Structure 1
Amino acid sequence: MTAITAANVLVIATNGFEQSELEFPRDQLRAKGAKVHVATLDGQSIKGWEGTDWGREAEADLKIADAKASDYDALVIPGGQINPDLLRVEESVLSLVKDFHNSGKVIAAVCHGPWVLVEAGVAKGRDMTSFHSIKTDVINAGANWQDAEVVTDKGIITSRKPDDLKAFVSKIVEEIEEGEHSRKAA
C-alpha cells in the first residue's frame, strides 16, 4: 500500500492530448500530494487540444524512453484523438505500458487513451470503457466494454470522457492506495 502523499505518478502524452485529460489528473493528483511527472516522446513541452483548436502547453519532465515503471506507482494516459494514436505506434510507449502492467502497477487511461492499452496487448479479458467511438476497437481487443464513467479491473482504470475526470482521479487515488495488483503478463 502506498499513501497518495508518497506516490509517484507518470503521465505519458504527446502533442494533441485532450487539454483537460492531462491537466485535471496531473493537477488534482499533485494537489493530493502525489509527485507527478509528465513524459513525452522527445522530453520537450507538448501542446494540448482544446475544443476545436490547439490549447496550452504542458511542460515535460523526461522522455518516455527514459521512464522506468519501477520508479512509479501509476501510469496515466490522457486521451484526445491525436495523442493516443501517435503514442500507440511507439515501441518505447508499448514497452513501458507492458512494464507497468506486468509489475501490477496502476494504469489509468481516459477517452481514446485505451487505444494504447489495446496496442500494448493488455486489454484482453478486462472490464474497460472508453470514448464511444473506439468501443469496437476495445471490444475487438477482447475487453468487456462497459458504458460507465469509470471502470476498474485489477488496477487498470478506464474512463470515457472529460465529464468523467473527477471519478477517474478518485479511482486512481483509491487504486494507488490499494497497492500493486496481481495480473497475467502481457
Structure 2
Amino acid sequence: MSDMENVLNGKKIAILVANGFEESHMTGLHKNLVATGAEVKIVSPEKGVVNSWHGNGWGHFFPANAHLSTSMSHHYDAVVIPGGSRHVARLIANPQTARFMRGFMEDNKPVALLDDAPKILADAELLEDRSVIVIEDAQEAVTESGATVVEATLHVDDMLVSAKEVIEPMIEKFADCIVKYEPEAWEAA
C-alpha cells in the first residue's frame, strides 16, 4: 500500500461498528486507512468502548470516538462497515444506523461494506437497484431488498464498494472513490 500513502490526507472516514464486529476486519481497515493519511473515527452506538469478536469468542475493546446518535453523515467524507453477524444485527436494530447511512447513500458518498455488512443497507431499504458482494448468510436479505448479489471478492458500484475478506484491495478501490467524489456536483443537482 506504499503508493496509497497520504492519498487521503484531510479526509474524515467513519468506521461504523457495534459490539460483536469482526476484530480482524476493523483492525485491518483502520490500519490501512490510517496509512492513506485519512483521519479515522470509530462511530458506534456503544458509549466509550466497543467490544470485538475474535475467532470463537469476544475479542478486544476499542475506544469509540463518536456516538452514533450524535453523528451525521456530513461529518465524514466516507464510511466503512466491517463484517460480523453480532454487530450487523445490533446496527440493524438501532434506528440511528438507518438515519446515519441514509445520508451517505442519498449524497452518493463513498461507502465500503465487508462480508455481511450489506445487510444493514438492505434492511434500511438503501440497496434497491444496486449491486454488492455479500456472504451467503446475508444474500437472501440483500436480494429481497432489490439489490443484485455479485459473485466475486471485490465489487464497485459507483461509490459503493463491497468485498469478502480482501481488506487491502478494498481500501485501494475505496480510496479511489473518495478521491473521485465531488460533493459540489451532488449539491448542485
TM-score by length of 2: 0.89
Partner of 1:66: 70
Structure 1 position 16 matched with structure 2 position 20: yes
Distance 1:123 1:167 in 2: 22
1:128 counterpart letter in structure 2: V
Partner of 1:147: 151
Distance 2:64 2:33 in 1: 16
2:107 counterpart letter in structure 1: S
TM-score by length of 1: 0.91
Distance 2:99 2:160 in 1: 16
Distance 2:16 2:115 in 1: 14
The answer (yes or no) to whether the contact 2:23–2:54 under 8 Å persists in 1 is yes
The answer (yes or no) to whether the contact 1:103–1:180 under 8 Å persists in 2 is no
Partner of 2:4: none
Give 4+ residue runs of structure 1 displaced > 3 Å after superposition. 180-183
Report the Cα offset of residue 119 of structure 1. 1.3
Q: Using the aligned pairs only, state the percent identity.
A: 22
Partner of 2:32: 28
Distance 1:165 1:127 in 2: 19
Q: Which has the larger radius of gyration?
A: 2
Report the Cα offset of residue 180 of structure 1. 4.1
Partner of 2:42: 38
Structure 1 position 83 matched with structure 2 position 87: yes
1:123 counterpart letter in structure 2: L
2:118 counterpart letter in structure 1: P
Structure 1 position 130 matched with structure 2 position 148: no
The answer (yes or no) to whether the contact 2:154–2:161 under 8 Å persists in 1 is yes
The Cα offsets for residues 48-95 of structure 1, whole Å up to 9 and x where unpaired, read as 111111111111101011111112110111111100111012111100
1:172 counterpart letter in structure 2: F
Matches within 5 A, 1:105-120: 105-120=109-124
Root-mean-square deviation (CA), in Å?
A: 1.5
